[in-house]
Amino acid sequence: MQATDKYSALQARFATSTLDNNHPRKALAILAEGPYLTPAAPRQFGGAGESYLELASLCEALGAVDTAARTIVTIQSAIAAAILRWGTDEQKRRYVPPLARGDLLGAIAFSEEGAGSDLSLVSSALNVERSTLSGQKTWVSMGVDADLALVLTRVEGGFSCWLVRLGPGVERIAKYSDGMSHCGLADLRFDPSVPTRHELLGPHGLALATVVQTTLDVGRLCIAAGSAGIVRTTLELGVERANDRAQGSSFLADHQITRQRIATIAVALETSEALVYRAAAAFAQADSDHRRLTWIAKYAAAAAADKSARDVADMFGASGISSESKITALRHDAWLMTLIEGAPSLSEDVIGQMTLGKMK
């Protein structure tokens, strides 16, 4: 699957864009020019009616050039998938087309300071009578710019997800991380004295088993594909460096150790892509094993991105530890890919559980 060929023109738009605080909005505008925001949504709801293989292919292409753009596609597609699966017909009509067009930029607000890997510890709440939210969500991608957030709260007897318009009653507190540094990361703090515009998405009290799973499944597939894209870019940078960098009369590529390093990254790229597209195919066929395969793909591709970025950074020496250098940004993004939607140790636990259940 050559993600780079079909999307090379789109990739070029991002390769040349300057990164600043307006980047999320600019990236959204570029993506909105084509059928890129929710490719897997049906045409009647503004999507491209493509399969999850196409979504993975797009995310790999974007992950290779711009993590913020890949993140936007991830969020729009994941929220659209959750609405299409669990929303009412009216919610599908009202929200999915604007998500597909980029008229609404989404954000996924599940995690809290005390509830990351284990979302059953979420404490944010919605006071239904007063229409107010309380609590604080953290590390929300696109939180600085988003118009609409999918918010997970505790309710009596369980958890519910709400589509919340980000306006009065929601304070955005920008956060900075070296990884995903142009993804508009923010905390969202809810003011319990100001009513918000919101509506329930999915079965009341059962969000953890329904809306949250659908959202995270799609998100995890996109992150896995984006990680494979990072591996591809590190390989390209590594090859370029190996051929360009000379010491005396010999190039880096003349050394066996360099060729070995390039070989391991080439193998990592092929295995990451194979796992990502296997998971995407399972998604497309509604294979009951798709969730386990997606966890496996994300775990392996993110680890491959992390290792490849570190290995290639070594080849750049001190110049690879500059905030200006491309490989440094990739290193930070790749590291973060290993942590989001399931850090390595958590991923191993989940994959182990699922595999034990499957093989019984």
Q: Applying CB under 8 A, which residues contact other proteins?
A: 86-88, 158, 202-206, 208-210, 213-214, 286, 288, 291, 350, 353-354, 357, 360
Closest distance to other proteins from the beta carbon of 105 (Å): 25
**Which residue's CB is nearer to other proteins, number 188 or number 211?**
211
Closest distance to other proteins from the beta carbon of 93 (Å): 15
SS3 of residue 174 by DSSP: strand
Radius of gyration of the chain, Cα coordinates, nearest whole angstrom: 20
**Which residue's CB is nearer to other proteins, number 157 or number 248?**
157
Contact 60, 39 (CB under 8 A): no
**Which residue's CB is nearer to other proteins, number 318 or number 359?**
359
In whole angstroms, give the CA distance from residue 216 to residue 343. 14
**Which residue's CB is nearer to other proteins, number 116 or number 195?**
116
Residue 134: C-alpha distances to residues 26, 128, 144, 169, 319 (Å):
31, 11, 19, 9, 46
Closest distance to other proteins from the beta carbon of 216 (Å): 10
Closest distance to other proteins from the beta carbon of 351 (Å): 12
**Which residue's CB is nearer to other proteins, number 207 or number 262?**
207
Per DSSP, which regions of the chain are E strands? 106-109, 125-127, 132-140, 148-155, 158-165, 170-174, 186-190, 198-201, 246-247, 250-251
Closest distance to other proteins from the beta carbon of 356 (Å): 10
**Which residue's CB is nearer to other proteins, number 158 or number 195?**
158
Residue 333: other Cβ atoms inside 10 A: 29
H/E run at residue 59: helix 52-65
Residue 342's nearest CA partner among 110, 134, 77, 175 is 110
Closest distance to other proteins from the beta carbon of 299 (Å): 16
**Which residue's CB is nearer to other proteins, number 1 or number 354?**
354
**Which residue's CB is nearer to other proteins, number 58 or number 96?**
96
Residue 102 region, left (φ>0) first, then alpha (ψ -120 to 50), else beta?
left
In whole angstroms, give the CA distance from residue 237 to residue 239. 6
Query: Roughly what angle, to the nearest 10 degrees, separates helices 67-86 and 89-101?
Result: 170
Residue 34's nearest CA partner among 78, 76, 67 is 76
Closest distance to other proteins from the beta carbon of 108 (Å): 18
Closest distance to other proteins from the beta carbon of 209 (Å): 3
